[in-house]
Amino acid sequence: MALKPTPATEFLRAPEKLAPAPVYAVFGPEDYLRRKSLNLLLDVLRKRGMEPQRAAEDITAAGLLDTLRTPPMFSGPVALVVLNQRSGPRQEASTRFKEEFVAYLESPSRKNVLVFEAPTWARNLTVPKRVSENFPTIQCDELKPWDTRTWQEIAAAHAATLGLKLDSAAMTALREYTGGKLARAANELEKLALLAPAGKLTADHIAQACGYEGADLTFPLCDALLKGDSRQALAHAAKLAGKAELGSVLSLLALLRLQVVNMGRAAQALRRGQSGDAALGATSVRLRDADKAAFLKTARTVTAANLESALETLLWADEQMKSAAPDPANLLVGVVSRLCDSLHSAETGALR
């Protein structure tokens, strides 16, 4: 009897109930649910003695199957995560290695586990069909527009992991501002965790931080720097300068340093030949989907010298704050101006 996929919303409520198996698939178009489900599945497998590993994007069929079929000598069994996604003319792994996977599914490893992370998963094709029929799978579909209750349950659960609690008006406002996108709501909640007093969020907090309608332009300033938009970054800095205080500027410097470090990590990943998604994953940066391409474009042009210059600017500003009595407004605008010069005027070059 063919197995039925487990809806992600059901799996998230009780991940430990998923039956042990040599093969799993987490598939579907809803990015947040897919990532969340995959992370929980890997947590379950860790508790079962597995060591999660991610297959390299350029891995061959032989290398992949060798990893799965070779008994580990110095560690526990492996849970090998294979990204199954079509990218331009490049077919997904389940199609490129169809014959090899079909043979493997007939006699999978008794020790190691194969996990498909599958944004692309056409269940009428051979490999997805056999996996779906014979092994546990988790289906991550987008929530229906009218399924407000489930959306709020998921958002509330993510908020709780950040120490946040939303009242009903805040939850409604968050859903409206994010267009019902769970991934965007998760990003906004992570920002709000820095702002909310005592972890309690109201609709006013959502309006100020998510809609950028309040006076605090800290986050849009950071976003503009990451996207390479000098004009917008300087415009936000000018507005912030009007109410700048030494305490707020010091906090901003710490946040800006984090953004420069994120830019450096992404640049290094891109120089090593990693994909844009992998480069984003190497950072702790949180960007809207529409801003990711601009961030990666900036990261591709920034050099080690540019990053060093940016960090020196922040160190200089920190020393000015502690050893002198600078005007907060002038210091803020000056720092942002120097960072724009360092990060946005870069010529393509290799990182050391």
* Separation of alpha carbons 177 and 159, rounded Å: 16
Q: Which helix (H) or strand (E) holds 322?
A: helix 304-323
- Write out pLDDT tens, residues 257-313: 888 888 889 888 888 888 988 888 888 777 777 778 888 988 898 888 888 898 899
Q: What is the percent of the chain with per-residue pLDDT over 70, rounded to a whole number?
A: 92
Mean pLDDT across 201-206: 81
**CA-wise closest residue to 205 among 233, 172, 183, 179:** 172
Interior angle at CA 219, CA 213 and CA 224, nearest 5: 105
pLDDT interval class at 214 (50, 70, 90): very low
pTM listed for this prediction: 0.59
Mean pLDDT across 320-343: 83
pLDDT interval class at 187 (50, 70, 90): confident
pLDDT interval class at 211 (50, 70, 90): low
For 316-325, letters b (16+ CB in 10 Å) and e give ebeebbeeee
Which of 129-138, 216-225, 275-284 shows the highest mean pLDDT? 129-138
How far apart, in Å, do the first and last CA atoms of the chain sit?
Answer: 56
Q: Which residue would you say has higher pLDDT here, 124 or 252?
A: 124
Q: How much is the pLDDT for 246?
A: 72
Mean pLDDT across 111-130: 94
Supply the mean pLDDT for the chain.
86
Name the token pair of 313: 């600017």
pLDDT interval class at 115 (50, 70, 90): very high
Mean pLDDT across 117-145: 94
pLDDT interval class at 139 (50, 70, 90): very high
* Separation of alpha carbons 200 and 46, rounded Å: 33
Name the token pair of 300: 């591709």
Mean pLDDT across 195-211: 74
pLDDT reading at 216 higher than 70: no
Counts for the chain of helices (H) and strands (E), in that order: 17, 8
Lowest mean pLDDT among 58-67, 73-82, 200-209: 200-209
Q: Which burial class, exposed, middle or buried, applies to 155 when counting CB atoms under 10 A from its CB (0-12, 13-18, 19+)?
A: buried
Q: Which residue would you say has higher pLDDT here, 249 or 162?
A: 162
- CATH numbers and ranges of domains, the chain: 6-139 (3.40.50.300), 148-209 (1.10.8.60), 218-281+288-344 (1.20.272.10)
Q: How much is the pLDDT for 351?
A: 37
* Separation of alpha carbons 212 and 218, rounded Å: 9
